[in-house]
């Protein structure tokens, strides 16, 4: 089978897939952290972005907040609590894992938790968010071998899964040739044709929306250059990475960096507006995360909760950590062109954050 099919089953098989285990995969006791594991600061910043969307759309009633790959719902809870939109706000949580949906419903009972975007209906107006969704989409693996492109398939040996090289499938070859994957002898790369259908499914429920995608990723030229000659695919287990992709199947996460050039092409083919990209630190600072460092009373500066808030803010925006590794993409549907506060560069002078 293709590695894409193997990855899809390893992650999303309803009984044996990695995400079938539900919420225990996340957080300190799981295999990796998400931004919402560091407190409510990320959610507060997304709520600030939601407020801008609400104003841009003319305060629709209802206004939707939809999270794709919502996990156990912690980010959505933080957004809803910080948004202050009352009954106008209709949260929708999309996750393929029944265990994750169950945990999300317990955490945010007023949200509609569904398995697929199409289960949300149509005509929604508001904000759609996906955090670390596209890096978990199934990918084809390709290599440059003796001057030609080959695909890495998964076969079954005597007692283990094994790699088998062969002629690329048409979808893998087309993607690799369009974006220049594995350009030099010995290079390996990942191709993700699935991103088009996933993005299409995300945008369909909306009539008017801003879609904010937060993920690891590069433009194709950088993604497939010599600095990533082995590709970007990694397995995650107990907060450690490895390259034993065919082992511990269903017990470890698999991710690969997103091809932002392909994502842009998919957005344009679907008629979505590409409003721009930024980095996570810029997005969060533009949406007020530095307020965690501000104390109206200087005596509060040393309080344990204030110190923790500042430490969590630093983890989210540190340039050597999450701050620069994560890219933030803004896509629009049915929304007039114009600058978004979340895309403003707080490091450029002069910069004044809009309320």
Q: What is the pLDDT of residues 163-189, one digit of tens each?
A: 999 999 999 999 999 999 999 999 999
Phi, psi of 189 (to 5 degrees): -155, 165
DSSP string, 7-64: HHHHHH-TTTSGGGGGGGGBSTTSSB--GGGG-SHHHHHHHHHHHHHHHHTT--SSEE
How high is the pLDDT of residue 22? 65
Q: What percent of the chain has pLDDT over 70?
A: 89
254 pLDDT exceeds 90?
Answer: yes
Mean pLDDT of 130-144: 97
Q: What is the largest CA-CA distance in the chain?
A: 68
Q: Does residue 140 sit in helix, strand or coil?
A: strand
Q: What are the beta bridge partners of residue 253?
A: 236
Confidence of residue 27 (pLDDT cuts 50, 70, 90): low
Q: What are the beta bridge partners of residue 299?
A: none
Distance CA 91, CA 108 (A): 9
Confidence of residue 151 (pLDDT cuts 50, 70, 90): very high
Q: Could you tell me how many residues make up the chain?
A: 355
Distance CA 318, CA 306 (A): 18
Token pair in block for residue 160? 């283990």
Distance CA 208, CA 163 (A): 45
Confidence of residue 32 (pLDDT cuts 50, 70, 90): low
Distance CA 231, CA 234 (A): 9
- Return the sign of the alpha-carbon dihedral for residues 199, 203, 204, 205: positive
Distance CA 245, CA 232 (A): 12
Token pair in block for residue 133? 């969704």
Element (H, E) at 77: helix 74-83
Confidence of residue 208 (pLDDT cuts 50, 70, 90): very high
Comparing CA positions, the residue from 39, 218, 198 lying closest to residue 117 is 198
Confidence of residue 83 (pLDDT cuts 50, 70, 90): very high
How high is the pLDDT of residue 302? 64
Q: What percent of the chain has pLDDT over 90?
A: 75
Listed in sequence order, the residues at least 6 apart from 156 whose beta carbon sits closer than 8 Å to its beta carbon are 162
Distance CA 149, CA 143 (A): 6
Distance CA 26, CA 235 (A): 14
Q: Does residue 234 sit in helix, strand or coil?
A: strand
């Amino acid at each position: 089978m293709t590695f894409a099919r193997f990855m899809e089953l390893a992650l999303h098989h309803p009984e044996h897939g990695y995400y079938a285990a539900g919420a225990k995969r996340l957080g300190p006791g799981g295999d990796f952290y998400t931004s919402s594991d560091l407190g409510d600061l990320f959610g507060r910043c997304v709520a600030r972005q939601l407020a801008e969307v609400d104003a841009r759309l003319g305060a629709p009633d209802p206004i939707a907040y939809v999270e794709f790959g919502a996990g156990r719902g912690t980010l959505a809870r933080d957004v809803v609590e910080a948004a202050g939109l009352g009954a106008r706000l209709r949260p929708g949580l999309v996750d393929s894992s029944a265990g994750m949906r169950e945990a999300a419903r317990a955490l945010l009972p007023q949200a509609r938790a569904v398995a697929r975007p199409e289960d949300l209906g149509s005509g929604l107006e508001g904000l759609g968010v996906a955090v670390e969704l596209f890096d978990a989409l199934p990918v084809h693996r390709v290599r440059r071998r003796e001057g030609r492109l080959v695909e890495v398939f998964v076969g079954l040996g005597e007692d283990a899964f094994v790699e088998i090289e062969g002629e690329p499938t048409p979808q893998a070859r087309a993607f690799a040739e369009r974006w220049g994957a594995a350009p030099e002898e010995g290079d390996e790369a990942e191709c993700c044709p699935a991103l088009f259908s996933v993005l299409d499914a995300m945008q369909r429920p909306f009539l008017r929306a801003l879609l904010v995608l937060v993920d690891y990723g590069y433009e194709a030229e950088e993604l497939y250059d010599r600095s990533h000659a082995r590709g970007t695919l990694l397995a995650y287990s107990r907060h450690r990475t490895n390259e034993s992709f065919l082992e511990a199947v269903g017990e470890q996460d698999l991710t690969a960096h997103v091809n932002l050039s392909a994502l842009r092409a998919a957005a344009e083919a679907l008629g979505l507006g590409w409003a721009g990209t930024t980095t996570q630190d810029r997005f969060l600072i533009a949406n007020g995360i530095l307020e965690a460092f501000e104390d109206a009373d200087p005596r509060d500066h040393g309080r344990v909760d204030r110190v923790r808030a500042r430490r969590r803010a630093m983890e989210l925006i540190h340039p050597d950590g999450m701050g620069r590794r994560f890219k933030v993409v803004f896509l629009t549907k049915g929304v007039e062109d114009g600058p978004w506060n979340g895309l403003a560069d707080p490091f450029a002078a002069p910069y004044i954050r809009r309320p």
